Structure 1
Amino acid sequence: MLTSHDARDGFSLYDNLINIKLIGCKKCEVLPTIGLLPCLRDLYIEGMDNVRSIGTEFYGNYNDGGYDKILFPCLKSLQLWFMGNLVEWTDAMEPTTTGTVFPCLKNLTIRFCEQLKSAPCHFPSLEKLEISKSDSTTFEKISSKLTTLTSLHIEKISELASVPEQLLKNNSSLMSLSISFCGDLVFLSPHGDVWGFYTSLRSLKISFCEKLSYLPDGMHALRSLEEFKVSNCPNLRSFPSIKGVALLLRSLTISCSIEVLPTGLESCISLSSLEINECPNLISIPNLQDLHSLYSLTITSCKRLMGLPDGLDCLTRLKYLSIGGFCEEWDAFPSLSSIQHASLETLELYGWAKLNSLPDDIQRFTALTQLWIRNFDQIEALPEWLGNLSSVRMLYLCECMNLMYLPTAEAMQHLTQLYINACPKLKERCVKGSGAEWLKIAHIPNVILR
């Protein structure tokens, strides 16, 4: 397109360009000089396999006195995707040179640039940073001088033991922090509670960080927190109090190795979604009677759980319930009679090896529109009383290895969708036209077999 030699004379042809996408130019070895384009707002670069370095030619860095050195003057979004051989991304100018680069850049995304070892650190207006599949050196360099972040998402950053302290201290407007698949992360912050965003952070998500063993006690000081998710962190065995965030917290997800849920849970009166999943050491759940705003509740795959929590009869707004996968020594599913039946619309049941029947009390849920039945391996036939759930339109059957028989066509006359997944015996019997169960389901508009 343009080279550093003719850019000053040639870039005027492209003065009005607002958006540039460079995708799959696999033989290109050097990126074009586009830092001088005065109107460029969005730049997307993907799959430039032969580009190993982004150097000064990318910016258009001229040393004559007539050039004001504002590079990428209007750029707001920059994305680098699948640059598999990119090793170096240099700063625009030498340290002794004065000038401005990326003055308006708000969003920076770097994904799947696994070889990248160096990057710039001058992003004076950056608000949203997303880095995936990179190493900690690159991340730390890019984030070292940031002070204006509102959103940070990091994923699959190798050798990252903790989030850099300066990043946590200097970004007082951070509203969203997401960390996922960082296998070397041990601590969220290196020296305890050094956060600068106590009053701004609204969403904190940490997932699939196997080595994470500690969350700072300062969690309770995140006064604006609305969404808190810690999932698939098996080495996390204790949880700080959430008493201080109880008033505004609307969504809470916990999936780790804790024995006791965080204190303050019962005071989260604004909570609309609560998910407790794959907590193998959890023994009990506190009374939920004051969580009157709860709309969605998940309690699944907690193998040591001794019983359902008290207070479920007070959850009058509950629409979605996913429950089960409890102690495999139990011969029967725990009673659901305390669940408010008038409001519940979606019920997802997780069984275990010993169960050979569904809990009878789900017949009470007359407002159900969706019913999921999972992991009931000993069930061979679904009960005819499923026909009493006349409002159910969608029935999902998943991983019921010995299930063979469905209720009668009359019991399933209200269904509009039947989904059968990983139920090998039933799948064979539901083959269109020839299966033994086919006539029972032929009237259902949408039947999916997998």
Structure 2
Amino acid sequence: MPTCSSLPPLGQLPHLEKLELRQLPGIKRIDREFCGGKGAFRRLTSFQVLYMHGLEEWNTTYCVEDGVEEFMFPVLDSLMIQGCPRLRLKPCPPTFRDCIIYESDQVISSLEEVDITSHHCSSSSGAIKLDLTIKDDSSQSMRLFHHFPALRELTISGDHLTNVPESMRHLTSLESLTLQWCDSISALPEWLGDLSSLKSLVIFVCHGIKSLPACIQQLTKLQTLEISRCTELEKWCESEENKTKLAHISNVRVSSLHADQVHFI
């Protein structure tokens, strides 16, 4: 519907559980009109915003009465934002448990700018899974992780990232970390050892990473290490000296240097 310039008050559909907005170039805002009044979206658990190239702003809260603010999607479990290059969120992250943000860098930037002292900002403390793919270097620092202290699974993709964001070091509940398509990252930081709950580390197509830091031995809960299509790092793992540094990890999988096989250390 390329001519659609406003959204109907879908928030008043009492049984609506899943909602997808896709390729509506005339829509610039998602705000209180979308809710249609108080008690909106009481059952909505899945929301996807896909290829909304004209969308510039999503107000994640709305005023119901006497200045009282409510979250637009109070029971949201899964959120996906993809191909929305202009979109910014305000005043704070929506509630969710599982979120994918793909090629929507302004979303990431807007979350970085949120005042953590705001009374709304505790809203996303239940988020457990986050998948971020950045397209340019506007979100280089990625300081948004303070919104998600309970995060357990994190995937980061993006050729423009030159460092693993240091704001991650306080994610003490993080159990799974995947770095993929991050060729500009040249090394993993020593503070990676602060991620004391980490059980799984996956490194995929990160050619700039040539070795693992000494802190890998501090990750005593690490059970799985997967390395694929990272030529120099694969060679590092193959040496007998470095195999001993990984001896505490029960499942180490390194892609073959010479064939489309996977072998185990």
For residues 257 and 199 of structure 2, what CA distance do their matches in structure 1 show? 25
* Shift in Å, 1:11: 5.8
What aligned pairs does 1:113-262 form with structure 2 within 5 A after superposition?
113=104, 118-121=109-112, 122=121, 123-135=124-136, 137-138=138-139, 140-158=142-160, 160-168=161-169, 170-189=170-189, 192-193=190-191, 195-198=193-196, 200-236=197-233, 255-256=234-235, 260-261=239-240, 262=242
* Shift in Å, 1:194: 5.1
Structure 2 contact 97–128 (Cα < 8 Å) conserved: yes
* Shift in Å, 1:233: 2.6
Give the corresponding residue for 1:108.
Answer: 99
For residues 22 and 12 of structure 1, what CA distance do their matches in structure 2 show? 14
Structure 1 contact 183–208 (Cα < 8 Å) conserved: yes
Report which of the two has the higher share of helix. Answer: 2
Give the corresponding residue for 1:65.
Answer: 66
Structure 1 contact 277–298 (Cα < 8 Å) conserved: yes
Whether 1:263 and 2:243 are equivalent positions in the alignment is: yes
For residues 249 and 156 of structure 2, what CA distance do their matches in structure 1 show? 31
The residue identity in structure 1 corresponding to 2:171 is: N
The residue identity in structure 2 corresponding to 1:197 is: L
Give the corresponding residue for 1:75.
Answer: 76
The residue identity in structure 1 corresponding to 2:173 is: S
For residues 266 and 215 of structure 1, what CA distance do their matches in structure 2 show? 10
* Shift in Å, 1:12: 6.0
* Shift in Å, 1:275: 3.9
For residues 259 and 270 of structure 1, what CA distance do their matches in structure 2 show? 16
What aligned pairs does 1:400-439 form with structure 2 within 5 A after superposition?
none
* Shift in Å, 1:151: 0.2
* Shift in Å, 1:178: 0.3
For structure 2, the residue ranges without an aligned partner over 5 or more in a row are: 113-120
Q: TM-score, normalised by structure 1?
A: 0.47
Deviations 1:330-375 (A, max 9, x none): xxxxxxxxxxxxxxxxxxxxxxxxxxxxxxxxxxxxxxxxxxxxxx
User: What secondary structure does 1:62 align onto?
Assistant: strand
User: What secondary structure does 2:215 align onto?
Assistant: helix
For residues 219 and 167 of structure 1, what CA distance do their matches in structure 2 show? 16
Distance 1:70-1:269 versus aligned 2 partners, 3 A rule: closer
Distance 1:213-1:3 versus aligned 2 partners, 3 A rule: same
Deviations 1:123-158 (A, max 9, x none): 322110001243454371432432111000111251
What aligned pairs does 1:393-404 form with structure 2 within 5 A after superposition?
none
For residues 82 and 197 of structure 1, what CA distance do their matches in structure 2 show? 31
For residues 260 and 173 of structure 1, what CA distance do their matches in structure 2 show? 31
* Shift in Å, 1:39: 2.2
For structure 1, the residue ranges without an aligned partner over 5 or more in a row are: 94-100, 237-254, 280-295, 300-308, 310-450
Deviations 1:379-398 (A, max 9, x none): xxxxxxxxxxxxxxxxxxxx
User: What secondary structure does 1:124 align onto?
Assistant: helix
Structure exhibiting the larger radius of gyration computed from Cα positions: 1
* Shift in Å, 1:173: 1.5
Structure 2 contact 47–80 (Cα < 8 Å) conserved: yes
The residue identity in structure 1 corresponding to 2:172 is: S
Whether 1:298 and 2:259 are equivalent positions in the alignment is: no
Structure 1 contact 152–178 (Cα < 8 Å) conserved: yes
The residue identity in structure 2 corresponding to 1:54 is: E
* Shift in Å, 1:205: 0.6
Structure 1 contact 81–113 (Cα < 8 Å) conserved: yes
Identity %, equivalent residues: 19
Structure 2 contact 12–41 (Cα < 8 Å) conserved: no
Structure 2 contact 20–47 (Cα < 8 Å) conserved: yes
Structure 1 contact 231–256 (Cα < 8 Å) conserved: no
Structure 1 contact 41–77 (Cα < 8 Å) conserved: yes
* Shift in Å, 1:114: 5.6
The residue identity in structure 1 corresponding to 2:155 is: H
* Shift in Å, 1:102: 2.9
Give the corresponding residue for 1:23.
Answer: 22
Distance 1:12-1:224 versus aligned 2 partners, 3 A rule: closer
Deviations 1:234-264 (A, max 9, x none): 454xxxxxxxxxxxxxxxxxx2456724232
Distance 1:263-1:12 versus aligned 2 partners, 3 A rule: closer
Structure 2 contact 156–178 (Cα < 8 Å) conserved: yes
Distance 1:181-1:228 versus aligned 2 partners, 3 A rule: same
What aligned pairs does 1:363-402 form with structure 2 within 5 A after superposition?
none
The residue identity in structure 2 corresponding to 1:142 is: L
For residues 5 and 163 of structure 2, what CA distance do their matches in structure 1 show? 41
